[in-house]
């Protein structure tokens, strides 16, 4: 049952992302070159909706939240590595799956590289443990940092700022 649910939600997510252009190399590189804001707007719009949605669910105790630990050093290094891979391939771990399904062979190579990269990480994991334990602040959110008991009080203004940003501030710059 849960497997079928995953399949159903995943199919819907995959279709929406594909139709939204998330698996397009040109759209992703356009975002990183700050010329085409489509993908940035798409991500920020998603975050704006999801933030309010999740914290509204949390009000009625229905959000199955999963807060990841904040280990500053490890996460920043990881992000810098990820960003290089993002720009070189033009995909991310999710969009290369989508693009592979569209028959794009380069995306299939990214997917394969990803499987090997994850295996490589599994091998070196014991040696990288210090990166995760140092500067680790645990499962903190903006709500816990600012001692706000109900996250919705941050979620609503945060989403409002994102909406302002995507509808009023971010503009495409074409050559």
Q: Which of residues 115-174 bind other proteins (CB under 8 A)?
A: 115-123, 125-126, 128, 131-132, 137, 139-143, 145, 151, 154-155, 158, 166
Least CB distance from residue 168 to other proteins, whole Å?
A: 14
Least CB distance from residue 159 to other proteins, whole Å?
A: 9
Q: Which two tokens stand for residue 70?
A: 């904040």
Least CB distance from residue 126 to other proteins, whole Å?
A: 6
Select from 62, 147, 169, 171 the one that contacts other proteins (CB under 8 A).
Answer: 62
Give the torsion sign (CA, 165, 173, 30, 17): positive
How many amino acids of this chain bind other proteins (CB under 8 A)?
125
**26 vs 167: CA distance, rounded Å:** 22
Give Cβ neighbours of residue 31 (< 8 Å, ≥ 6 apart): 37, 38, 39, 40
Minimum CB distance to other proteins smaller for 79 or for 164: 79
**61 vs 151: CA distance, rounded Å:** 12
**63 vs 19: CA distance, rounded Å:** 28
Residues 39-58 that bind other proteins (CB under 8 A): 39, 41-51, 53-55, 57
- A 10 A CB-CB count for 144 gives 14
Q: How far is CA 19 from CA 6, 48, 113, 131, 148, in A?
A: 20, 19, 25, 38, 38
Residues 71-100 that bind other proteins (CB under 8 A): 71-72, 74-100
Cβ atoms of 171 and 37 closer than 8 Å: yes
Does 36 help bind other proteins (rule: CB under 8 A)? Answer: no
Least CB distance from residue 147 to other proteins, whole Å?
A: 13
Select from 3, 149, 168, 171 the one that contacts other proteins (CB under 8 A).
Answer: 3
Select from 15, 130, 134, 160 the one that contacts other proteins (CB under 8 A).
Answer: 15
Select from 68, 147, 168, 171 the one that contacts other proteins (CB under 8 A).
Answer: 68
């Amino acid at each position: 049952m849960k497997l079928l649910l995953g399949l159903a939600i995943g199919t819907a997510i995959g279709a929406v992302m594909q139709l939204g252009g998330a698996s397009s190399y040109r759209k992703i590189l356009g975002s990183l070159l700050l010329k085409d804001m489509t993908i940035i707007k798409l991500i920020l719009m998603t975050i704006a909706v999801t933030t309010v949605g999740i914290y509204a669910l949390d009000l009625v105790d229905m959000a199955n939240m999963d807060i990841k630990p904040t280990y500053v050093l490890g996460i920043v290094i990881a992000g810098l590595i990820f960003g290089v891979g993002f720009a070189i391939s033009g995909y991310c771990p999710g969009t290369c799956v989508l693009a592979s399904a569209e028959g794009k062979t380069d995306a299939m190579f990214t997917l394969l590289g990803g499987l090997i990269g994850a295996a490589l990480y599994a091998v070196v994991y014991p040696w990288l443990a210090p990166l995760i334990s140092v500067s680790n602040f645990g499962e903190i959110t903006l709500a816990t940092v600012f001692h706000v008991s109900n996250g919705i009080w941050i979620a609503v203004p945060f989403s409002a700022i994102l909406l302002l940003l995507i509808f009023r501030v971010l503009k495409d710059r074409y050559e």
